[in-house]
Homo-oligomer: A and B are copies of this chain.
C-alpha cells in the first residue's frame, strides 16, 4: 500500500506530535519521520523511543523534501515555524497542525506559506495533562474525534489526505467552520482549563496541610492544571473572545449558586443542582457518541 506521506517533519515532538508519529507509523501511513524542535533533550528522547528517525534544530534542514509538515508547536509559534520551514518542503507538500484554536492559526499559517503550499487546519480532540515526547503513546487518538476546518483556500486533495491520516489512526473525523470550532472548544475544553488553573492557583495561597484531605473530586477538578503553561497561555489569548463568553456565562452561574448558598435558599440551590445534573447527563449521552 502506498504511504500517504513519504517524509513527515514534525515540528514539536510532544504528546500530540509524538503520538501521531507513533500511531501513523504503526498503521503504515507514513514513511520517514524527522523531528524539529528547540529542545534537543526532547528530540533525543523521541529518537530513543523510535518516534522519529532523525532530527534537526535547523528548520530548513528538518523540513527538507518533506511532503507533510505537521505543526505541533504552541499556537503562537505556528506561523513562524511554517514560514521558517516552507522553503525546504516539497512543492506538493501539505502543511497541517493540531492546535486547539483554529481561526488564528489558519490566518497565521496561510499568511506564512508561499503560493502552492496547502494548509489544512486540524484539531485532534485527545490528550492528557502530560507533555513531551516521553508522554507520547500510539493509542492516544483511538475512537476520539478530530475536527478539520477547511476554509476558502483549502486544497481538497490536501484535505482528503489529512482526513485519511487521522482516520488511519482511529479518529472520527468531521469538518467544521473554524469560527464555529473555536466557539465550541471555548466551552468544552478552554473553560475546563481556565477553571482548573484558577482552582489550583487559588489553593496556592492556602495551608498545604489541607491537601491531605483532598480526594477524587479535587483531583479531577485540577487535573488539567498540570498542563503546559506556555501552551495554554497561547490558546487562551488566541481564543480570548470566545473564552470571554463561555467563562463569563459560567462565572454568572457560579455567582448565582454562591448567592443561593449564602442566603440559605435551599429551593434555589436544589433547582440549580438539578439543572446541572440534567445538563451533564444530556452532554454525556451526546459525547458518548465518539469522544474518549
Partner of A224, one of B125, B191, B220, B251: B220
Asked if residues B291 and A212 are in contact (CB atoms below 8 Å), the reply is: yes
Using Cβ atoms and an 8 Å threshold, which residues of chain B touch A287? 211-212, 214-215, 218-219
A184 / chain B contacts, CB cutoff of 8 Å: 210, 213
Q: Inside 8 A of A289's CB, which chain B residues have their CB?
A: 212
Q: Please name all residues of chain B whose beta carbon is closer than 8 Å to the beta carbon of A224 when the two chains form the complex.
A: 217, 220
Residues of B within 8 A of A233 (CB): 266, 269-270, 273
Q: A37 to nearest B CB, angstroms?
A: 20
Report B-chain residues with C-beta under 8 Å of the C-beta of A204: 275-276, 278-279
In the complex, the answer to whether A128 meets B211 with C-beta atoms within 8 Å is no
A interface SS class: helix
Count A-side interface residues using an 8 Å CB cutoff: 97
Contact between A229 and B277, CB atoms less than 8 A apart: yes
- B225-A280 in contact (CB<8A): yes
Interface: A107 (CB within 8 A): no
Whether the pair B261, A201 counts as a contact (CB closer than 8 A) is no
Chain B: CB-nearest residue to A227: B277
Is A253's beta carbon under 8 Å from chain B? yes
Q: Chain A residues in contact with chain B, CB under 8 A?
A: 125-128, 144-145, 147, 181, 184-185, 187-189, 191-206, 208-227, 229-230, 232-234, 236-237, 240, 243-244, 246-258, 261-262, 264, 266, 269-270, 272-284, 286-287, 289-292
Q: List 24 A-B contacts (CB under 8 A).
A: A125-B213, A125-B215, A147-B213, A187-B206, A187-B210, A189-B213, A189-B215, A201-B272, A201-B276, A202-B250, A203-B283, A212-B286, A214-B286, A215-B287, A215-B292, A216-B292, A217-B224, A220-B221, A222-B276, A226-B277, A233-B270, A240-B262, A247-B258, A248-B258
